[in-house]
Amino acid sequence: MLRLVSPQTAAVRAVKQALSVKMDKSFNTYCRLLSSKKFTVQDSLPHLPVPPLEQTLHKYYQSIQPLLDEEELEHTSKVISKFKAKQGPHLQKLLEERAKKKENWLSDWWKSQAYLNFRSSVVINSNPGLLLPRQNFEGLKEQLKFAAKFISAVIDYKIMLDEKKVPPEKSGMQPLCMSQHYNLLCTSRIPGIKCDTWQNFSEEKPSHIVVICNNHFYLLNVYGKKDRPLSIEQIYQQLKLIHSKSEEAAPPIGILTTENRNEWGKIYKKLMKDKVNRSSVELIQKSIFVLCLDQSVSSISDDNKTSVFAGQMLHGGGSHLNTGNRWFDKTLQVMIGSNGICGVNTEHTAAEGPPVIALIEHVLNYCYKNEERVLPAVGIQDPIKLKFNIGSKMLEAIENAKKNADSLIDDLDLTISQYKIFGKDFLKSMKLSPDAFIQVALQLAFYRLHQEPCATYESASLRRFKYGRTDTIRSCTVPSYLFTCAMDDSRVPALEKLQFLRQAVQTHKNISNDAISGQGIDRHLLGIKLTAIENGMDIPKLFMDTAYTKSMHHKLSTSQVSSKYESIMFYGPTAPDGYGVCYNPQSAKIGFAVSALNTSPETCSQKMTSAIHQSLSDMHKLTSEYQMAKL
Ligand code: COA
């Protein structure tokens, strides 16, 4: 075995000692806080309902109409009727019984179905990236200064979480479940050979973050004595030390986290057999979060530089750049380059985009205030290098992971853009739901490019319910299809087009409201299917039907992730011949991230972006002209 690093028992001991600093406060205190009076809103949140079966089947039938021909529809109508008469009611009863016993009948299932059982690489396929507004700095010193501020801001947010002072969020008058906010820090996905797990280490009160620099991993204790957080200047000094010790690149052990999950699970098992490796990996998993000091991407044309920077956040830019300078299993990874580029990559198991945005908006507000809020701490420890024993087998695994990661990255076609002609304010003034309007524009854009409608997924938040995650809004509706056909038909008068548009927008708003109220289609059907599996019953034919397969092949996988800042989130497409579209509607503009795969001859993120912009402009013209006519 080729030993690149010798086992350092002293280093392991030092690390354990560093960790024990904050282990004295027991978990009971933490639990007491959680159940304290401040949590009554959370405690009183309603449980996720199980919708009536008839209602879901009726909505399901409506949702597949634009996707099927008449013969297929007739067949599916019979399949639905049989299901309603036979297995359906029994499965519904079993599901309702489950719902009575659980605070949320879906959340455990969802965690494993959507995330932990997912065996492809989490990179591009599951972890979203988030590009933050470019900061006005250049060079190493400024990079480290900004990173220090960023760390201090996250710790400030952590203290608010620890003290239960994060303002509860609402959607209109409805309080939202805040549990996801508590899943962002001190948490990690852990690979397994067939299925992963996920752990929250908050109870151990970790006091460190991990900094990755030139593929080296360092433990940086961000608290001094008496649990006092380090000041920005103190963190900066620590980062300087880390950077100065990381001049030569280390073998990119972090690139192993880009592997498909079964492969990474097998490698992980071997890696963890070594005591030194195990200690280092556990410290990464338990850390508050991971901060990656990135090398800058040079020589890129002005045209696509935002998209290249977004790629840096989503996948690291390739094994020759920053892809090894990562630990993709960590729930929160922050990336900061020396050219003012910064962003985040989040492991998705335990939280959606909006709680990440809440944390990041706090961080940016804090950074822009540009003031030292913390007095210097005493009892600072030097950063500790996390060592790895890497033998020839592990080096081979790293080389394989590099190749696999690079081909995954080469296949990604990503375009980031800002649509600046109008934003939310214009749409509100027209009495139109901004989200619904954008979704209809996506339908029009897709139809114009591909001359057909497509099954579409839009995330709907279920956070009105305790431990709620998401349901699906099936954005391709009969009215949206009618509008897309009418819009470019010269025989249809403008006023009629506008009526089709308004009808499509209103229908979208109605189905969104249903989904966020726990009356959606998809999670209910998933619950029915899993109930059959868990009870050893045959999977109903409803789920084998072409209609179901077609309606789950999401050529448009979309999500609104809004922020007051010009930040944009992105992820890969979920269908090989489809697009991932994420958008941030702001008052006067809309940010878009469109992804596709280069291996698909049918898709192109640039063309889709142009089609979205054009559709928005054409729909804007239609609505404004009518408004003028009314005046
Ligand atoms: N006339 C005037 N104003 C209207 C309107 C109308 N007809 N319809 C809506 N509006 C207003 C709303 O009141 C709201 O106002 P506000 O900005 O002052 O709050 C604003 O327009 C936006 O509303 P709308 O665009 O309709 O929807 P939304 O922003 O509430 O978003 C969803 C809808 C479905 C996207 C949202 O509820 C949701 O579930 N998001 C999930 C996000 C998520 O979890 N993503 C996962 C990422 S990993």
Q: What is the CATH number of the domain that holds 400?
A: 3.30.559.70
Q: Which residues contact 134 (CB under 8 A, 6 or more apart)?
A: 309, 340, 341, 342
Regarding whether 146 and 124 lie in a shared domain, the answer is yes
Q: What is the pLDDT of residues 561-609, one digit of tens each?
A: 999 999 999 999 999 999 999 999 999 999 999 999 999 999 999 999 9
Q: Are both 351 and 218 inside the same structural domain? A: yes
Rounded Cα–Cα distance for residues 92 and 569 (Å): 37
Q: Provide the domain limits for residue 604.
A: 414-518+554-630
Q: Is 108 exposed, middle or buried (0-12, 13-18, 19+ CB in 10 A)?
A: exposed
- Chain mean pLDDT for the chain: 93
Q: Is residue 42 part of a domain?
A: no
Tokens of 582: 């994420």
> Coil, strand or helix: which one is 44?
coil
Non-local CB neighbours of 482 within 8 Å, separated by 6+ positions:
500, 503, 504
Lowest-confidence segment of 7-16, 322-331, 533-542 by average pLDDT: 7-16
Evaluate whether 611 touches 617 at the Cβ level (below 8 Å). Answer: no
Question: Looking at the structure, do residues 73 and 55 belong to the same domain, yes or no?
Answer: yes
Distance CA 17, CA 159 (A): 22
Residue 304: inside a domain, yes or no? yes
Examine the domain organization and report whether 450 and 566 are in the same domain.
Answer: yes
Taking the CA of residue 172 as reference, the ligand 1 atom at the shortest distance is 19
Choose which residue among 346, 473, 559, 560 to substitute to test ligand 1 binding: the one with the highest number of ligand atoms within 8 A of its C-beta: 560
Question: What is the average per-residue pLDDT within 493-519?
Answer: 97
For residue 483, the domain's CATH number is: 3.30.559.10
Domain termination residue (choose one: 410, 437, 464)? 410
Of all protein residues, the one whose alpha carbon is nearest to atom 17 of ligand 1 is 424
Q: Is the domain of 122 the same as that of 201?
A: yes
In a domain, 400, yes or no: yes
Strands 290-293 and 208-213: parallel
Based on DSSP, count helices (H) and strands (E) in the chain, helices before strands. 21, 18
User: Ligand 1: residues whose CB is within 6 Å?
Assistant: 128, 352-354, 428, 431-436, 459-461, 470, 512, 516, 559-561
Q: Which residues of 127-154 are buried (b: 16+ CB within 10 A; e: fewer)?
A: bbbbbbebbebeeeeebbbbbbbbbbbb
Residue closest to 155 by CA, chosen among 341, 312, 359, 347: 359
User: DSSP readout, 159-220?
Assistant: HHHHTT-SPPPEETTEE---GGGGGSSSEEEE--SSS-EEEE-GGG---EEEEEETTEEEEE
Nearest by Cα to 509 from 447, 461, 561, 440: 440
pLDDT tens for each residue of 226-235: 999 999 999 9
Same domain flag for 546 and 401 = no
For 543-562, how does the pLDDT look when each residue is reduced to its tens digit (9 = 90+)? 999 999 999 999 999 999 99
Calculate the alpha carbon distances from 575 to 451, 473, 600 in Å.
18, 17, 10
Give yes or no: residues 234 and 312 share one domain. yes
User: Does 28 map to a domain?
Assistant: no
242 and 207 in a common domain = yes
Residue whose CA lies nearest to ligand 1 atom number 8: 433
Is pLDDT of 32 > 80? no
The alpha carbon of 112 and the centre of ligand 1 are apart by a number of angstroms equal to 28
Q: What pLDDT score does 530 carry?
A: 98
Residue 94 pLDDT > 50, yes or no?
yes
Catalytic residue numbers, as ranges? 348
Is residue 36 pLDDT above 60, yes or no? Answer: no
Whether 4 is covered by a domain: the verdict is no
Domain end point (choices 410, 427, 443) = 410
The confidence score (pLDDT) of residue 28 equals 39
Bridge partners of residue 583, in order along the sequence: 560, 592
How far from each other are the two terminal CA atoms of the chain, in whole angstroms? 81
Residue minimizing CA distance to atom 10 of ligand 1: 433
Q: What is the pLDDT confidence band of residue 630, given thresholds at 50, 70 and 90?
A: low
Query: How many angstroms does the Cα of residue 412 sit away from the middle of ligand 1?
Result: 29
Residue 94 to residue 543: CA distance in whole angstroms = 18
Mean pLDDT of 247-255: 97
| Cβ atoms within 10 Å, residue 366 | 20
168-184 confidence digits (pLDDT tens) = 999 989 999 999 999 99
In a shared domain, residues 332 and 373: yes
Q: Are 367 and 239 members of one domain?
A: yes
Mean pLDDT over 366-393 rounds to 91
Shared-domain flag, residues 170 and 240: yes
- Domain assignment present for residue 356? The answer is yes
Ligand 1 centroid, distance to 513 Cα (angstroms): 10
Name the residue of 178, 181, 422, 435 whose CB sits within 8 Å of the most ligand 1 atoms, as the mutation to test its pocket: 435
Q: What is the DSSP letter of 561?
A: -
Residue 43 Cα to ligand 1 middle (Å):
25
Structure tokens at 140: 């190493």
Q: Which residue has the tokens 């949590």?
A: 39
User: Looking at the domain assignment, is residue 458 inside a domain?
Assistant: yes
In a domain? residue 113: no
pLDDT cut 90: percent of the chain above it = 89
Q: What is the pTM of this model?
A: 0.93
Instruction: Please give the number of the atom of ligand 1 that sits closest to the Cα of 461.
Output: 39
How many separate domains does the chain show? 3
Position 5 confidence tier, pLDDT thresholds 50, 70, 90: very low
Does 74 lie in the same domain as 175? no
Domain boundary among 410, 436, 457: 410
Query: What local confidence, expressed as pLDDT, does residue 24 receive?
Result: 33
Reported residue count of the chain is 631
